[in-house]
Amino acid sequence: MSSNSTFNCFGLVIHGYGKPQILAYVDEAIAQGRQTMIVTANPEILLYAKNHADYWNILRQADLRTVDSFGLVCAGLLHKVYPTRTTGVDLADAIIKRSAEKGWKVALVGGSRQVTGAPDKAAWKLRQAYPELQILPEELGSVAPDGEDGEVGNEVRYRLTHFAPDVLLVGLGHPRQEAWLVRYLHDFPSVKVAIGVGGTLDFWSGEIKRAPEWMRKIGMEWLYRLIKEPKRWRRIFTALIVFPLMAFFDSLSSGETK
């Protein structure tokens, strides 16, 4: 994989690989039986990690931290590298398709505040698209920021262990999804690829629509989300204004560490 797409942001190595490169990494992990954790990094995630040492250390344990926003593409340019943006939704779509083709078993774990029953609805839609897909949807109850779950979590993890998925997609939002994975991934030896997928399950459920493709291509998905969900303005302000400033100052003194 090319080092020309890899850069440092807030002390974390970001891997700006394109989708074909990431999928090749996934193929290799499953073929070799190597458990792999992927973080689809964006400005919110990285700023949260910058201000929360525990979460920073969680992200540091991931095998790949991919570029999920144009903000991170620009951060890479500050380091004179040229990362490729691969959104979490697009990556998850590609992995589902590959799983159906190769017979990989997939588990969806979620707990959306926006869509009730998001994992079940998402799994049903995916089964309609890929009838051969082996998939288990599970909805967690309350999950703490450090990833600890309650009694419902015990039951979910028990069922996951017996289902023995190859791929585990967790849609809890940050920091919960990555913290949950680091806390419990060792409980699932069958899992070879684990990814925090944010609101992907909500999109797959059909209850929440993505921006039109032309808006996504030019990096204006944030405007569509703002129009649809005005309460997101703080998150968008953070991504568009705060992160670029912090990334610029970080680029002046950043070292390449992992």
What pTM was computed for the model?
0.88
Q: Does any domain span residue 171?
A: yes
Q: In whole angstroms, give the CA distance from residue 100 to residue 95.
A: 9
pLDDT score at 189: 96
What was the pLDDT predicted at 208? 79
**Full domain range(s) for residue 247:** 3-46+62-251
Mean pLDDT of 35-41: 97
pLDDT (tens digit per residue) in 17-31: 999 999 999 999 999
Query: How many domains is the chain partitioned into structurally?
Result: 1
Range with the poorest average pLDDT among 44-53, 141-150, 228-237: 228-237
**107-122 residue pLDDT tens:** 999 976 667 789 999 9
Average pLDDT over residues 75-99: 94
- Note whether residue 53 is domain-resident: no
51 located within any domain: no
Residue 29 to residue 71: CA distance in whole angstroms: 28
Residue 232 reports pLDDT greater than 90:
no
* Position 55 in a domain: no
User: Does residue 257 belong to any structural domain of this protein?
Assistant: no
How far apart CA 160 and CA 49 sit, in angstroms, is 28
pLDDT value of residue 31: 95
52 assigned to some structural domain: no
Q: Are 168 and 105 in contact (CB under 8 A)?
A: no
164 phi/psi in degrees, rounded to 5: 55, 65
| 108 touches 195 (CB < 8 A) | no
Domain-located, residue 115:
yes
In a domain, 54, yes or no: no
How crowded is residue 26: how many other Cβ atoms within 10 Å of its Cβ?
Answer: 24
Quote the pLDDT of residue 2: 55
Give the 3-state DSSP-derived string for 31-43, with helices as H, strands as E and coil as C: HHCCCEEEEEECH
Q: Which of 56-70, 144-158, 169-183 has the lowest mean pLDDT?
A: 144-158
| Percent share of the chain, pLDDT over 90 | 67
Which pLDDT score, from 0 to 100, does residue 256 have? 44
In the chain the first and final C-alpha atoms are separated, in Å, by 16
Identify the pLDDT of residue 210. 73
Please give the Cα distance from 23 to 258 (Å, whole number). Answer: 22
Least Cα distance to 174 among 197, 156, 192, 148 occurs for 197
Q: Tell me the pLDDT tens digit for each residue of 165-202.
A: 999 999 999 999 999 999 999 999 999 999 999 989 99
Low-confidence winner among 74-78, 148-152, 222-226, 228-232 (lowest mean pLDDT): 222-226
